Structures are given as C-alpha cells and as structure tokens.
Structure 1
Amino acid sequence: MELILAPEILKTYGYTKENVSVKQIGSGLINRTYLLSPLSEDKQYILQHINTSVFKSPEAIANNLKAIADYLTKNYPDYIFIKPILTINGEEMAYINGEYWRMLPFVKDAISLEVISNPKQAYEAAKQFGKLSRLLNQFNVDALEPTIPGFHNLSLRYEQFVLALNQTSKQLKGLAKHEIDFAIDHKYVLDYYNSFIHRNDFPDRVMHHDTKISNVLLDKNTFEGICVIDLDTIMPGKFISDLGDMMRTYLCAFSENETDLSKIRIRVPYFESTVKGYLSEMKNNLTATEKELILFSGKYMIYMQAIRFLTDFLNGDVYYPINYPNQNLDRAKNQFKLLHELFVNEKELQEIIDECL
C-alpha cells in the first residue's frame, strides 16, 4: 500500500514526498519497515522505524553497527554488510518527533524467505551466519553494547518463569500444569549450561541473536546466500545463540504457532545442512567446549523459548502478541514438543555432528 511518511522523516535523508514513493513491507512484529523508491534514482532504500519499547537504547544499535562496519570495511572490504546510510547531517539515525528512524541500502536481485522449504536454504542461511561470526572472530567484542540486556540469558528467563509461577492465578496455573511440570523437570538444561559458562574456552563472540530464515538475503535466481540482515540484536553472546536459534527455527516444518503437536518433528536432512553450513565457516574457530555444545545449543534455545512463552501466558500475555486466548500456552506446548523430539533423535543428530567435525 502507498504511504506518506511525515515530511521531516524524508527531509532528513534529502527527499520529499514529491520525489519518492513509499510502501510498507515485511512481516516483522518489532520494527515498521518501508521500501523507499526515489523517482529520479536507479536505487531503492529500506526505511525503518525503531521500536523503542523493545530497543530501549537505539544509540547502542547505531554504535554497534558503526563499530562493526568500520572493522569489516578495513579488514574485509568485499563483504556485504548492510550498514545504515547517514542522514544529511551525518548522523547514524534520524530522531524525528520523539521517534528513531534509519535508512539502509536495498539489495537488488535478493530475496528473503518467510518459510524454509529445502535443506539447501538451511545450508546457505547457516553458512551466512557462520561467515559473519568468522569474519568478526578477532573483533573486540567488549566494544559492543547489549541492545537487549539479558536477551538470551537462560538464568534470567528461568527466574522470570519462577516469578510468574508464584504470582499467577490458580486458573492459569491449572491450565498450564503439564507445561509447568515439564519446565521444572528440564531445568537441568540450565544447570548443564551453567557448568560450562566459566570455562576459558567458552568465549563471548559477536552474535546476531535472531537467525531465522527471513534474516538472510539469498540470490533470487540461485538461492545462494548473500548476507545477513536485521542487525539490531548484534551484540556480545555465546555461539549457542545463533546456531541454537537456527536449530529451533529450521528443523521443524511448522512454526511455534502450530497446534497439532503430531506435526512437530525434526527434519534430519535440515539439521545436517544447518550444521554443515555453519561449520563450513566456523569449524576452525570453535573451541573444544563449543564443539562439545553444538547439539546442546538447540536444546538451550528451544527450552528458553518454551519457558518464555509459558512465562508470558502465566503473566497474562503481556509480551507476545496473541490472536486467541491460550495461544502462548499452545506455543509453549509446541516448543516443549520440539525439545522432546531433539532428545528422541539425539543419537542420530550427534553422529551427524561428529562426522561433520
């Protein structure tokens, strides 16, 4: 649909409503995204509104991206890193009427997928996320600020779950009894992680933190990976954040919104492609501890997402948007089933990892 943005937003990037067309694009729930097409240029741009309810320090995003872009430009100038375009005043972001905006180059002949439909796509996506981590292997991770503090901190998420459990109503607790028991019974996922957290060879790295298939650009003709996008959550983290989120979102044919739990199965060829794609870039950079935790990364991220959905249900659905009552409970059931499937297939999946290593 055609849209007209506030003139001040366009003006700060040197445009007016008369010399551009604007269309809203994307299906993201966090930031509003627009395709900006100047009438007199053979270029297009992405214009994005930053949701400060989620990203409370937009300056941290801008600082992180600038530091990484400067590093990559100096050391890997051929790598495609989608860095923001400066405003006419040389600023990383525009601050208009109390809101933050940024403009990014639009990559031609590229597509992003909402659904992953074959193992090659899993391989190419995993390879791109692994490539970014490899190129930033020597980058000083301490130079980055957390853009969402505690985002993938399972200890924090479990504490939030316990707090919600102690404060929720008897009715909600009753509806979620099975999932509550499952979450508590599988707390050893957190305990196991904590047994590794202080090892010297379990380093903080530059992580993307949101590695779903829609955050990779693929060549629209060959479907080969081009680069990763949606870089707001790039910040310090453990490698399990990226690889684990790929496992959570690539291995099952259905999303967390599927309510028929019989459909929640692990697609082994997709697992193999994901691991191969990631290790094609990161194999020589991962430490012994990280290699030991490859399969665990999936357990970690799936378990964390499950208890986040469950926590939100117990809190009265205050974080994740829902389309019907109990949807967050259904999402938790879905993710706990996916976690169960990972355990059921563990022997075969670990054999694949061992072969790849």
Structure 2
Amino acid sequence: MELNLDSEVLKAYGYTKENVNIVQIGSGLINRTYLLSPLLQDKKFILQNINTAVFQDPQAIAKNLKAVSDYLAKNYPDYLFIKPITTVDGEEMAYVNHEYWRMLPFVSKTVSLDVLSEPKQAYEAAKEFGKLSRLLNNFNANTLEPTIPGFHDLGLRFEQFTLALNQTTKQLKGLAKLEIDHALDHRYILDYYNSYTHRTDFPDRVMHHDTKISNVLLNAETFEGVCVIDLDTIMPGKFISDLGDMMRTYLCAFSENETDLTKIKIRLPYFEAMIKGYLSEMKGILTATEKELILFSGKYIIYMQALRFLTDFLNDNIYYPINYPTKNLDRARNQFKLLSELSLNEKELQDIIEENLV
C-alpha cells in the first residue's frame, strides 16, 4: 500500500523511502501514526504527524516534553520516558510542507491495548499513570503550557453547552430533551467542583489528561506496566483529570459508542484494581482535599464528556466523527447512564477507596 508520506519528512531524520519500511498503525483519531523500520538497523521508530486542528501550537508540545524529559533524566534517570528524537538539524520536530512531525523510539516486546480484558491490566495502567504523576510531584506544573486550552475545564464545557442550547434548532432540542434535562440537573457537579477550587491543598499538577488504556504500554507477555505514551496533552491540571478519565474508560466493559444502555454497568473488580494501582503510587502525595475528591473525579470527567457529546449534537456534529445523525446524542445518553451507575454504586466504591487509603 502506497503511503502518502513526504520524503522530506524521512530526510529530516536521516532516512529515505529506499532504506526503511513504513506501515501506518494505531487506533487514535487525532494524529496519523506510522511504524518506521530501517532496513540496515536493528531498531524501529514511531513517526507521527501532529494534528494542528486539535493541537494548534505544536511548539508547546515540544517545549513541554523537553522540560519534563530533562527533569526526569536529571532526577530519575532510570525512568522510561518516551522522549522525541531530534531531527538531523537538532530540532524537536520536523516541519515539512506546513505539517509538524516527530519521531519516537519504538518500545519492543510491549503491547498497547484498546480494550481491558482483566483487572490486572487496569491495575498496571493506573499504576503507570500514578507513577508519572508521583515522579513529577516537585516539578512546577505551571511552567508548562496548555497544549489544548480549557481541555478539562468543566466550566468552559458548560458554557459551550449553554451556548449550543440557545442556538440550536427546535428539532434537535426536541430530540435531546431528556439529555438536556440531565445536563441541567447535574449542574451541581460543576458547583461542587467550584466550591473546592479556593483550597490551597488542591494543587495544579503535571497531568497526562488522556489516560485511556491504549496510552500505556504493557509487557506483551506479563501485562506488567512499562511506560506511558501519547504525551501531547501533558500540561498543568488537577489530579481528577487523570483519575477521572481512568474511571470513565476502565470501569465499563463497553465504550461510549454502545447504544444498549442495559450493558453500561460498573465493574467493581476493575474499579478496585484501578484504585489500588493508582494509590500504590499516589497515596503518599495526595493532599487531604484530593483524597476527598477521588470518587468525585469520575463524576467530574464523565459529566464533562456527556456535556461535550451533547453539545456537539446540538451544534449539528461539528467536532466528533459520526456515522449516523444521532450518534453524539447516543454517546451522551451512554455517558449519563455511566454517571448514574457511578452514583448507584457510590457507597461500595467509596468503601474500596477508604480501604486503599489506609
């Protein structure tokens, strides 16, 4: 299969189309990703095109990753941080025909999962994300630049929902009446979050912001955690971003694309494994306020994602890809169901948290 890859991109890293094999890989929706295998070298690389429609300032990504990489190399030299490889000119990225590219080392004997199939995987992934946060505990998060401004800002997402609600058609508003009611009824989640923001022990941290299972590499045989990948969204944030996104994506056996809402259930063994893994790294550094908000982090992120899907539906589907007109409405319904399941299981989930905080 002929790949639409400019030879100048390869040249920037010292290669040509004649001395490498290139295969497009990955299930991500944002960046195009390729596996590059030099014919005369016993190593492989990941080559990625950065989607500037999503990441409008690629230089911010490069600066953030260099700052974090330099800090970890100095303070934790044995930690495996997937740092981009510089171009032949010493640049952090290649800029070719108005596109940004970067090359990363390929980590052999690892696997990136799209779906969790056992609690151990949730434990290992949560442990890896927690470990990265722990190692960066003393790094000044506010020296990093937001690579997607407002990405996990629930206040902003609610404003966008309100604007869409006021501007949408009567037809779309009618189709989404129940979900609009859910969105308004759960406004208390935003108010609750805002009541905590003044606390001095609710710090900004270096957060990954996209902690789905495919963004951590596991040992291909043992499923033990190896390292965190897909680091474009490393930027300042609250701990709830990472832990909440794990809850949103690990706890149910089905993704946001499942339309049979009877299947949307919380898997308690996966929740327990995730909490154990995360707190095995983070328990010692989380503040009293952060410990109070562990379960709330799931509500925060799930509600925010429900709002984003609903907002996109009301905006006539301008952001998330769809293959039928009401797909984003179905996704919103799915997330509101997951939110209700989290609340229904709240006592048992909180008991698991308390046991692992001891």
Report the TM-score, using the length of structure 1 for normalisation: 0.99
Q: Which residue of 1 aligns with 2:113?
A: 113
Alignment partner, residue 221 of structure 2: 221
Structure 1 CA distance for aligned equivalents of residues 58 and 4 of structure 2 = 24
User: Aligned-pair distance for 1:297?
Assistant: 0.2
1:276 counterpart residue number: 276
User: Matched residue of 2:18: which SS?
Assistant: coil
Q: Write the deviation string for residues 113-143 of structure 1: whole angstroms up to 9, x where unpaired.
A: 0001110000000000000000000001121
Separation in 1, partners of 2:71, 2:109: 26
The residue type equivalent to 1:160 in the other structure is Q
Cα distance per residue 1:49-71 (max 9 Å; x no partner): 00000000000000000000000
Q: Which amino acid aligns with 1:44?
A: K
Structure 2 matches for 1:155-234, cutoff 5 A?
Answer: 155-234=155-234
Alignment partners' CA distance in 2, 1:324 and 1:271: 32
Residues 49-128 of structure 1: matches in 2 within 5 Å? 49-128=49-128
**Pairs within 5 Å for 1:246-257:** 246-257=246-257
Match of 1:318 in 2: 318
Q: Is the 8 A contact 1:4 1:17 kept in 2?
A: no
What 5-or-longer segments of structure 2 have no aligned partner?
none
In 2, Cα distance between the equivalents of 1:121 and 1:223? Answer: 6
Q: Is the 8 A contact 1:207 1:235 kept in 2?
A: yes
Task: Return the letter of the residue paired with 1:234.
Answer: I
Counterpart for residue 48 of structure 2: 48
Q: AA paired with 2:24? A: Q
Instruction: Determine if contact 1:2/1:24 at 8 Å carries over to the other structure.
Output: no
Structure 1 unaligned residues grouped into runs of 5+: none
The amino acid across from 1:11 in the alignment is K
Which TM-score applies when normalising by structure 2?
Answer: 0.99
Give 1:17's aligned residue: 17
Match for residue 238 of structure 1? 238
Residue aligning to 2:131: 131
Identify the residue that residue 39 of structure 2 maps to in structure 1: 39
3-state SS, counterpart of residue 29 of structure 1: coil
Shift in Å, 1:3: 2.6
Distance in 2 (CA, whole Å) between partners of 1:121 and 1:188 is: 33
Structure 1 residue 331 corresponds to structure 2 residue 331:
yes
Q: Is this contact kept in 2: 1:244–1:301, CA < 8 A?
A: yes
Q: Distance in 2 between matches of 1:2 and 1:285?
A: 50
Kindly provide the CA deviation profile for residues 238-273 of structure 1, in whole angstroms up to 9, marking residues without a partner as x: 000000000000000000000000000000110011
Give the aligned partner of residue 262 of structure 2: 262
Contact map agreement 1:2 1:23 (CA 8 A) in 2: no
State whether residues 55 and 148 of structure 1, in contact with CA within 8 Å, keep that contact through their aligned partners in structure 2: yes
Instruction: Tell me which amino acid in the other structure corresponds to 1:6.
Output: D
Post-superposition offset of 1:162: 0.3
Shift of 1:2: 5.4
Letter in 1 for 2:225: G
Per-residue deviation, 1:27: 1.1
Deviation at 1:350, TM superposition (A): 0.4
The alignment-based identity, stated in percent, is 78
Q: Secondary structure at the match of 2:227?
A: strand
Q: Please state whether the residue corresponding to 1:49 is helix, strand or coil.
A: strand
C-alpha offsets along residues 35-83 of structure 1, whole Å, 9 cap, x if unaligned?
A: 0000000000000000000000000000000000000000000000001
Measure the CA separation in 2 of the matches of 1:304 and 1:97: 36
Aligned residue in 1 for 2:297: 297
Residue 323 of structure 1 deviates from its aligned partner by 1.1
Tell whether the 8 Å contact from 1:4 to 1:22 is kept in structure 2 after alignment. Answer: no
The answer to whether the 8 A contact 1:320-1:328 is kept is yes
Residue pair 1:24, 1:33 contacting (<8 A) in 2 also: yes
